[in-house]
Amino acid sequence: MTGHAYEHVTAELRDAILRGDHPPGTKLPRHADLAARYGVSDIVIRQAIDGLKTSGLVDTKGRGGTWVRERPVTRRVSMDRYRADTGPQETPQTSFTTDAGITWAEYRLDKAFRWIEADEHLAGLFGVEPGARVLERRFVFYAKGVPSQMSRPCLLASDVEGTPVADPGNEPWPGGTIGQLRTLGIEVDEVTEETAVRMPTPDESERLGIGSGVPVFSITRLMRSRGRVVEVADPIVIPGDRAVRVDHMDL
> What's the pLDDT tens digit per position in 13-27?
888 888 888 888 888
Q: Judge whether 82 and 191 are in contact, CB under 8 Å.
A: yes
pLDDT at 14: 84
DSSP 103-149: -GGGEEEEEEEEEEE--HHHHHHHTS-TT-EEEEEEEEEEETTEEEE
**For all residues of the chain together, what is the average pLDDT?**
90
pLDDT at 62: 66
Distance (Å, rounded) from C-alpha 201 to C-alpha 210? Answer: 11
H/E run at residue 178: helix 176-183
Return the SS3 of 179: helix
More confident residue, 241 or 111: 111
Nearest to 22 by CA among 47, 52, 1, 42: 52
Q: Judge whether 214 and 220 are in contact, CB under 8 Å.
A: no
Has residue 1 got a pLDDT over 60?
no
Residue ranges of domains in the chain = 5-68, 75-246
Has residue 10 got a pLDDT over 60?
yes
Has residue 72 got a pLDDT over 80?
no
pLDDT at 244: 86
Q: Which CATH number fits domain 5-68: 1.10.10.10, 1.10.3720.10, 1.10.260.40, 1.10.1740.10?
A: 1.10.10.10
Residue 180's pLDDT band (cuts 50, 70, 90): very high
Architecture in CATH of 75-246: 3-Layer(aba) Sandwich (3.40)
pTM, 2 dp: 0.82
Tens of pLDDT, residues 117-167: 999 999 999 999 999 999 999 999 999 999 999 999 999 999 999 999 999
Distance (Å, rounded) from C-alpha 33 to C-alpha 66? Answer: 13
